[in-house]
Amino acid sequence: MLGRKFARSLANTLLALAMAGTALGGCAAKKDASSAPTDDMAEDIDVRSGTAGGDTASQEEAPVDRLADPAAEPTRSITTADTSTDAPKKEAEHRVAGKRVAASPAVVGGTAAGSGAATGQGYGGGKYKSMNVPAGRADVDRNTEGYKDYGVNAWTDTAKDHLSTFAADVDTASYTIARRKLDSGALPPTAAVRVEEFVNYFHYGYAAPDGARPFAVHMDAAPSPFNKGRQIVRVGVTTKAKSIAERKAANLVFLVDVSGSMHSADKLELAKRSLRILVDNLKDGDSVALVTYAGATRVVLPATGLDHKDQILEAIEDLTAGGSTAMSSGVELAYQQAAKMMRGDAITRVLVLSDGDANVGNTSHEEILKTIAGHVKEGVTLSTIGFGMGNYKDDMMEQLADKGNGNSFYIDGLSQAKRVFQEQLGSTLEVVAKDVKLQVDWNATMVKRYRLIGYENRDIADDDFRKDEVDAGEIGAGHQVTAIYEIELASTIPADLTPADLATVRVRHKAPKATTATEAAFGFPADGDAVDFDHASADFRFAFAVAAFAEVLRGSEDSEHWSLKEIRRIAAAAAGTDPDRTELVGLIDRAIELSGGAKTAMAK
């Protein structure tokens, strides 16, 4: 372990020195792609616990960044000791009749200070230089991260509303953001925690679909380990994975933020390493274009096939950071390149690599989102890949991906880059179903009330389930979608009813290029109900532990009597030897250590 930490520290130092040399501007000869750090050299680079770059804010990763004004927010405690599992819970004061109350956006930290004001040339690409780009750098003196608080789903009386409707979500950015915060010695802001993105980060042993249906649906249940008289219900949806040979050809536009705020090892340098991993895992027939934006935008590399891979890697390696951030014009230019690349049945996708911090341009964020939504109709999707801390705009990156019918990822180290761009490349690139909606129809005779844990920002009105014009979520090849419910059973259940009568799950979706949706219904399995929590499958118990951990981190009132130590015990017992699962156990340990059993201020 000490050797690995030393290797990471050394690698980060080398990256910082290399980047500092680049920033000095031409003191050394320009490297070609073949002299760039190899993936093997950089394998142990992990920037989760700090950065080695010029970004002041991201170097100062401390718990204080969670709250701009400690007096402005109440504190709360994260329970670490064992407590009564059936203690009564108060309903949140902010909740009203209905399924949830969405809170207002939250910008964690303060305002940026010290925007640079120099002019210069050369930012955005070595021999592919963008001319007349402001070279000033925005020094972030205070944390200006942006997260949106979507509230917490309220309990719903089944007699009044037996339908729970939401859009599929396979994003995982929230989990990796929280992981980096915890690894850096800070509890994540509560608004940064989205339960479904924690749960969907992990893989579960769902059976793959067979026949013509693109989905398989899995349902199971068990008594709650924390609340007597309540049940935990899991709903899982999975699609069939595709091999590299089966994946469609891909036309990709890399839209890279090369503004001054990206000038650190955990931002542009990590983005470049991530793109190298992606390019190394593309196949013959794929093509890449590279567009950068800072104070101005530039087509660094027009559409180039994998037969010229060396040119693609050289263009990536040549990127340097400086200037302000004109995201809007960059998005437009990227879509222009994507339109030129569209062909036949190939995938056409824009990948935005950024910290999400846009500060130049007359176009509002809302207008950017409208532009993206318009291009989706033309067949071009967009995903966001986030980097860095201190000024990271999670709310912006998530909204861009949502409107672009893509996914939102956050990269906190090379291992995560390999996960997204190597191990899960097929699901990252190829959509197999769009506008996917799920509707759980609860049997009011059996279920008194229910709550969906997470998916607050994916809520869909029940009446919109069969309205095909209503946007929903996209699922890629091999993706899994897992939802966790907590329910209260009716005090008296007719003897002729069985677990199979508990609920029906409906899935509605469109084929990738279709405009009309199809629908399928799935009943609850007769053997899906475990006699007690400990007899539920390891998959089930682990999924609940993940959801429970996220609930505690975000300060959900329904989890105020849940013990982190008990959640850790559940997770550890179900983790096995899976490295992702054992990592979560370590993160829970870190949260217990950081909370210390005392009240901990968390940003709302």
Q: pLDDT tens digit string along 477-499? A: 999 999 999 999 999 999 999 99
- Cα of first residue to Cα of last residue in the chain, in angstroms, is 35
The whole-angstrom separation of Cα 440 and Cα 32 is 55
H or E stretch covering 573 = helix 564-575
351 and 220 within one domain? no
Q: What is the pLDDT of residue 359?
A: 63
Q: What is the pLDDT of residue 210?
A: 85
Contact 485, 235 (CB under 8 A): yes
The whole-angstrom separation of Cα 268 and Cα 18 is 12
Tokens of 504: 């029906």
> CA nearest 79: which of 555, 587, 451, 585?
555
The whole-angstrom separation of Cα 532 and Cα 548 is 17
Range of the domain at 12: 1-49+115-138+246-428
- Residue 264 falls inside a structural domain: yes
533 and 460 within one domain? yes
- Residue 584 falls inside a structural domain: no
Q: What is the pLDDT of residue 301?
A: 97
Measured CA distances, 528 to 123, 419, 503 (Å): 58, 31, 11
- Residue 103 falls inside a structural domain: no
420 and 446 within one domain? no
The residue assigned the tokens 């059996």 is 446
Based on the number of CB atoms within 10 Å of its own CB, is 346 exposed (0-12), middle (13-18) or buried (19 or more)? middle
Total domains in the chain come to: 2
The whole-angstrom separation of Cα 360 and Cα 331 is 13
- Residue 94 falls inside a structural domain: no
268 and 133 within one domain? yes
355 and 398 within one domain? yes
Tokens of 142: 């205070």
Look up residue 412 and give its amino acid. D
The whole-angstrom separation of Cα 555 and Cα 560 is 7
469 and 325 within one domain? no
Per DSSP, the three-state class of 48 is coil
445 and 413 within one domain? no
Q: What is the pLDDT of residue 82?
A: 42
- Residue 576 falls inside a structural domain: no
265 and 220 within one domain? no
391 and 513 within one domain? no
Q: Which residues of the chain have pLDDT under 70?
A: 1-142, 359-363, 597-604
The whole-angstrom separation of Cα 137 and Cα 214 is 48
- Residue 130 falls inside a structural domain: yes
The whole-angstrom separation of Cα 602 and Cα 187 is 8
Contact 263, 59 (CB under 8 A): no
285 and 417 within one domain? yes
Q: What is the pLDDT of residue 597?
A: 55
Strand intervals (E) in 277-345: 287-293, 297-305
Q: What is the pLDDT of residue 361?
A: 59
* Domain end marker among 514, 541, 568: 541
Whichever domain contains 491, its CATH number is 2.60.40.1230
pTM for the model stands at: 0.80
Based on the number of CB atoms within 10 Å of its own CB, is 180 exposed (0-12), middle (13-18) or buried (19 or more)? buried
* Domain end marker among 541, 565, 581: 541
Task: Give 216-221's long-range contacts (Cβ < 8 A, gap of 24+).
Answer: 217/505, 217/507, 217/522, 219/503, 219/505, 219/522, 219/524, 219/525, 219/528, 220/525, 220/528, 220/529, 220/530, 220/536, 220/537, 220/540, 221/499, 221/502, 221/524, 221/528, 221/529, 221/530
Tokens of 571: 């997770």
299 and 222 within one domain? no
- Classify each residue of 116-147 as buried b or exposed e, where b means 16 or more C-beta atoms within 10 Å of its C-beta: beeeeebbbbbebebeebbbbbbbbebbbbbb
**Beta strands 503-510 and 431-442, pairing class:** antiparallel
Tokens of 580: 């992702």
**Beta strands 287-293 and 250-257, pairing class:** parallel
508 and 467 within one domain? yes
Query: Residue 562: which residues within 8 A CB-CB, separation 6 or more?
Result: 79, 226, 548, 551, 552
The whole-angstrom separation of Cα 361 and Cα 370 is 16
* Domain end marker among 377, 411, 428: 428
Orientation angle between helical segments 564-575 and 538-553, nearest 10 degrees: 150
Tokens of 223: 């008594």
DSSP string covering 344-393: TT-EEEEEEEE-------S--HHHHHHHHHHHHTTT-EEEEEE--SSS-B
- Residue 65 falls inside a structural domain: no
Whichever domain contains 351, its CATH number is 3.40.50.410
- Residue 251 falls inside a structural domain: yes
The whole-angstrom separation of Cα 264 and Cα 252 is 25
Contact 258, 323 (CB under 8 A): yes
